[in-house]
Structure 1
Amino acid sequence: MGEHVERLDVIGNISRDLTRYPDHRGGARLGGAALFVSLAATKAGRRATPVCVLGDDLAHLPGAPGLDALDWSARLQAEGTSTTFDLEYDLQGELVEARTDYGVAEALTEHALGHVSTYPHATFHVCCRRPLDVEAVLGRLAETTAQFSVDFFLPSAEAMIHAAAPWLPAATTLFVNAAEYRLLDQAVDCDTLSEVVVTDGPRAAVVRAFGRQVASAVPPPHPAHEVSGAGDTLAGTYLAHRSRGTTTARALAEATAAAARYVAVPSLPIPAPRHG
């Protein structure tokens, strides 16, 4: 069934991350919303491609074991270093501080605009994170017949939600956490939004359709090894299931379960380049 489902084109970053927790969990790993959303969608049976910019240091990713299942045709290879994130969390898994060097991702907006123009009828997911020019990308999408969904990242969510606000009623689905939902509610009339998935860590995730709660699911309890990327995993899984006509409640249950499994296992290591 999955082969008949349209590809999901995920606009966002792929990065080298360092995550830190007070109890010494974390460490160096692969990261980036475009990677996690695409991987989750692929695992849930929907072909997905990261619309991203990779630096020389991550040029080998498309051939790496476990990542070769992704469609890498929408990546741009650029000279320089990939985005790096230094993410500090508290014991509850809440982000305390994020330090970033965007590197070659400074070219992401231009790359994304070109990709949207080339595939105006595609289905997109836009990871509304810096350094993406959200106004330019969502504005371009609004000029096409493309379907699109969006998510945010709490450190930049307030600015990004305000930038995205004019186009959010046209989105099929928005993914936010509880804190981002409060910011969203201040920026737009949530009764105009067709589908908003609101996560709240280990607490119940809910789906609101035009302001009315239509589904909820409590993630199965798993000890959290790594929380960075859990929301992206939920989003990719949810979108894959919804694209096949799965009910909202079932898609949310599958998505929360996938996110719970994700946080319980070790992070994706940065694969070593192949030699020879």
Structure 2
Amino acid sequence: MPRLDVIGNISIDHTRYPDGRTIRLIGGAALHTAAAAHRAGLPAAPVSVVGTDLAHLPDDPRLTALDWSGITVVDGRSAQFTIEYDTLGCVSSLAAEYGVADGLTRHGLAWIDAHTADAVHVCCRRPLDAAPVLAALAEAGWRFSLDFFVSSAKQMIDQAAPFLPEAVAVFVNAAEHALLTDVVPSRQLRLVVVSDGARPVRLLRRGRLAAQARPPQTTAVEVTGAGDTLAGTFLAAVAAGASDGVALRQAVAAATDHVGAPALALEDR
């Protein structure tokens, strides 16, 4: 059975909302993407560096089904992100302490060198140095997809630019899409999925609209990880042979369910 390796952060996230809610949760793009792919039927492994404060994750009953062979535990603190959202659910500010995740690029390169994979998804977000990781994947001839995060998108898109035409899929929001197409013409990109809040999610092939799906209305509980959930679900659906339209609808439905579900709260140990 095919498998998806996801190179990126696993972190402790502190989310804050305008209504005063604050949540301390287990987060990180690699975790959310891999977990979504697994729920959609595609075995997935986050490839990440965590500290001793998250060393217990493989034993967490909510996460035991994931393949944890790609994480390495280093003495120290895991990456921590403080994310503030505005009334529209968009990120208004972000503060980061990377901790042991500073070793993510080195770990990702070592993983690529030592393993083979059916497909790899790269979460192009600090502190990852995306360029050498993407170069190694391209040189190895692996299928890869990638995403960005708005706070570092400009820098990461510039780093990734030489490899973007080789990506099987790129996942962005509307703001990131504008940055992306400033650097690489749409016709050079095989497939781009563009989310835009409550507006329809668009799937573009070589810059042309191939499918779209409107998210249903829902009451948001926790929006962190929604885009990653969309990406992981879409990749799993495509791996199972789904068409563009079916894969996109499944991905949008999963992201909507994620937003309405209780957060993966970090339990005190």
Tell me the TM-score normalised to structure 2 length.
0.98
Offset from partner CA, 1:25-62 (integer Å, 9 cap, x none): 34111110000001100000000000000100000000
| TM-superposed deviation, 1:121 | 4.5
Say whether 1:165 aligns with 2:161.
yes
2:139 is matched with 143
The aligned length equals 269
Identity of aligned residues (%): 49
CA distance in 1, matches of 2:104, 2:261: 30
CA distance in 2, matches of 1:247, 1:25: 39
2:76 is matched with 80
CA distance in 1, matches of 2:117, 2:123: 19
Contact 1:121–1:144, Cα closer than 8 Å, also in 2: no
Segments of structure 2 that go 5 or more residues without pairing to the other structure are: none
2:107 equivalent among 105, 108, 111: 111
1:1-276 matches, cutoff 5 A: 4=1, 6-273=2-269
| TM-superposed deviation, 1:69 | 0.5
Contact 1:205–1:256, Cα closer than 8 Å, also in 2: yes
Give the root-mean-square deviation of aligned CA atoms. 0.9
Contact 1:83–1:103, Cα closer than 8 Å, also in 2: yes
Offset from partner CA, 1:127-166 (integer Å, 9 cap, x none): 0000001011001111012100000000000110011000
CA distance in 2, matches of 1:240, 1:205: 17
CA distance in 2, matches of 1:16, 1:165: 29
Segments of structure 1 that go 5 or more residues without pairing to the other structure are: none
Contact 1:64–1:271, Cα closer than 8 Å, also in 2: no
CA distance in 1, matches of 2:48, 2:75: 14
| TM-superposed deviation, 1:272 | 4.1
CA distance in 2, matches of 1:69, 1:35: 12
User: Any idea what SS the aligned residue of 2:258 has?
Assistant: helix
CA distance in 2, matches of 1:170, 1:89: 33
CA distance in 1, matches of 2:65, 2:260: 22
CA distance in 2, matches of 1:122, 1:102: 29
Contact 2:23–2:265, Cα closer than 8 Å, also in 1: no
Contact 2:29–2:123, Cα closer than 8 Å, also in 1: yes
| TM-superposed deviation, 1:220 | 1.4
| TM-superposed deviation, 1:227 | 1.1
CA distance in 2, matches of 1:221, 1:76: 39
Matched residue type, 1:81: R
| TM-superposed deviation, 1:265 | 1.5
| TM-superposed deviation, 1:224 | 1.1
User: Any idea what SS the aligned residue of 1:52 has?
Assistant: strand
CA distance in 2, matches of 1:22, 1:121: 42
| TM-superposed deviation, 1:120 | 4.1
Matched residue type, 1:171: A
User: Any idea what SS the aligned residue of 2:121 has?
Assistant: strand
CA distance in 2, matches of 1:114, 1:122: 17
Tell me the TM-score normalised to structure 1 length.
0.96
